[in-house]
Amino acid sequence: MNSIWLTVITVWEWLAIALVLLVSSYLILNLLAALTRRLPDEQYAKDGEFPFVSVVIPVYNEPEEIVRATLASWKAVRYGAFEIIVADDSTVPLNLSDLGVRTIHRTNRSGFKGGAMRNAFGQLDPRSEWMLVFDADFVVEPDILVRFSEHYRPGVGGVQGCMMMGRNEEPTFLTRYSESFHAVADTLLTGRYRMRGFVGVQGTVQAYRVDAVRAIGGIAPYSTANEDLDTSFRMRKAGWRIVYDPKISGRGIAPDRFGVFFTQLTRWTSTTVREYRRHWWSFVRSPHVPWSEKIDSVLFLLTWTIALAVTPTLAFIPWVLLYIHLVPLWLSIVITILPLPLFMLPALRSSTVKLGAIGWLGYYLLLLPGYFVMFRGSLLGAFTDPGFARTPKSTGAGVPARSARPTSPAPPTPLIHQLRCDSCGAPLGHKEVLFYAVGAPDVRRLECRSCIRRAEWPNARRAYPVPS
């Protein structure tokens, strides 16, 4: 029996090692491409005119002072023709009338962030040719819209910029790690784009061509908590290009609590796997997508789901230590130092060596809990329909906490095992509680996924019919 068990452990261990080496090689190749490879400059005629654009800022219970600081940065933007729309889903509506922006408030949160964007898309200025999306905590530079306009070319359906962290007024180890993590992600995305890999929009610091969105059936025509990846898949399958430009940037607020960080990581992992489950087979069969991009999409998914193979090996550690011959010492050393270039190479490109060192150290400190979180998130995405878990923003970015205006007192929050759907009365399962309650504990209405589907899908089909 021991020999059979040891054989199983050995096979699984070598499978995990092979996947780690494959993913690490893929990531390092992308980093090297970002540092050394340059795409030829695309020549296009510029007539001196800039199209009208709509900037949409989805908001859900963000501190008002954070939103005001963001809007203040937009007031300094130099561009001839644009509007700002705040898609406010907050339980206590924001009062931004003095800032001269257009605020759209919904009475429900159907469709999460994607639903708010879908609602705003239907109310854009008729002159709008592009819809830009920025999270409520991202501040921008005055030339951001001009930089976006450099990519408004025929065939381009989406433009993605660089998402940076670092607005936290009092940085902690976790916020600095998040800043380093995003610097690595930006470098990887740059490399994938320069190698003609699968690149999509990322949820913020992004632009959609209005005609392209209409052509593919709208934003989030069905309930999804990852409307950016869903839109990316549908655009690429329809033949629209998505451009990535690291020179376009916005800077946001990083999570400053480990619970919030891991909730965000769970949402990213589970919803990414869910959208792959929904779109990948039709994406592979699309004649508009080159095979290099299809292969890259598989490797990209593997970076999110490798925890499925690696996490079980953590239970094998006692056996690995007992039978050290399972993994040669030289291979153990290689695997241990592989994350070093992943965090230090971006330091040569856009950040500091100190920040890279913090990222490298943070990787090892968060390795075990991170793998377990991504293991769980991968299973949630593979077998459930994850909802949206809000990432609460700290007010440590130089602003005090938002004070709620007078409102009727909220009913006491029920215990988790007592939560029920407000529409049909069915008890909410553990996974629904995680995404509907834990991520936003002050939400006023909870609904099960069945009720959300019944309410949303008919309306979505009428408003945004999917082309045959």
Asked whether residue 391 is assigned to any structural domain, the reply reads: yes
Which pLDDT score is estimated for 400?
38
pLDDT class of 49 with cuts at 50, 70, 90 = low
* Exposed / middle / buried, residue 354 (Cβ in 10 Å: 0-12, 13-18, 19+): exposed
Structural domain count, the chain: 2
Same domain, 440 and 390: no
Please check the confidence at residue 397 and state whether its pLDDT lies above 60: no
Q: What percent of the chain has pLDDT over 90?
A: 43
Asked whether residue 410 is assigned to any structural domain, the reply reads: no
Q: How does pLDDT run across 209-243, given as a tens digit for each residue? A: 999 999 999 998 877 888 999 999 999 999 999 99
Please state the rounded mean pLDDT for residues 256-260.
89
The SS3 call for residue 241 is strand
pLDDT class of 63 with cuts at 50, 70, 90 = confident
The residue among 403, 434, 454 that closes a domain is: 403
Which pLDDT score is estimated for 243?
95
Q: Picking from 222-226, 381-385, 437-441, which range would have the lowest pLDDT averaged per residue? A: 437-441
Q: Any bridge partners for residue 84, and if so which?
A: 55
Same domain, 350 and 420: no
Measured from the Cβ of residue 107, the count of other Cβ atoms closer than 10 Å reads 7
pLDDT class of 200 with cuts at 50, 70, 90 = very high
Asked whether residue 156 is assigned to any structural domain, the reply reads: yes
C-alpha to C-alpha distance for 17 and 22, rounded to whole angstroms:
9
Q: Picking from 12-16, 110-114, 243-247, 350-354, which range would have the lowest pLDDT averaged per residue? A: 350-354
Same domain, 213 and 323: yes
Please check the confidence at residue 465 and state whether its pLDDT lies above 60: no
Which pLDDT score is estimated for 434?
43
Which pLDDT score is estimated for 454?
65
CA atoms within 13 A on the CB side of 258: 7
pTM here is: 0.80
pLDDT class of 304 with cuts at 50, 70, 90 = very high
Asked whether residue 192 is assigned to any structural domain, the reply reads: yes
Same domain, 168 and 228: yes
Dump the DSSP string for 111-122.
THHHHHHHHHHT
The SS3 call for residue 19 is helix
Residue 435 DSSP code: I
Which pLDDT score is estimated for 399?
44
Same domain, 277 and 306: yes
The residue among 362, 382, 403 that closes a domain is: 403
CB of 109 closer than 8 Å to CB of 60 = yes
What is the domain-level CATH number for residue 318? 3.90.550.10
Asked whether residue 411 is assigned to any structural domain, the reply reads: no
Which pLDDT score is estimated for 130?
97
Q: Report the chain's terminal Cα–Cα distance, integer Å.
A: 57
Q: How does pLDDT run across 136-151, given as a tens digit for each residue? A: 999 999 889 989 998 9
Same domain, 320 and 428: no
Please state the rounded mean pLDDT for residues 118-130.
94
Helix or strand holding residue 86 (H, E): strand 82-88
Same domain, 246 and 372: yes
pLDDT class of 409 with cuts at 50, 70, 90 = very low
Please check the confidence at residue 6 and state whether its pLDDT lies above 90: no
Please check the confidence at residue 432 and state whether its pLDDT lies above 60: no
Asked whether residue 309 is assigned to any structural domain, the reply reads: yes
Same domain, 423 and 322: no
Asked whether residue 408 is assigned to any structural domain, the reply reads: no
Domain that holds residue 451: 416-463
Please state the rounded mean pLDDT for residues 60-89.
90
Q: Taking all residues of the chain, what is their mean pLDDT, rounded to a whole number?
A: 81
Please check the confidence at residue 443 and state whether its pLDDT lies above 50: no
pLDDT class of 131 with cuts at 50, 70, 90 = very high
Which pLDDT score is estimated for 17?
86
Specify the higher pLDDT residue, 359 or 350. Answer: 359
Sign of CA dihedral 232, 236, 240, 243: positive
> In Å, how far from its chain's centre is CA 232?
12
Please state the rounded mean pLDDT for residues 280-294.
94
pLDDT class of 421 with cuts at 50, 70, 90 = confident
Write down the residue that tokens 């619970």 correspond to: 259
Specify the higher pLDDT residue, 294 or 166. Answer: 294
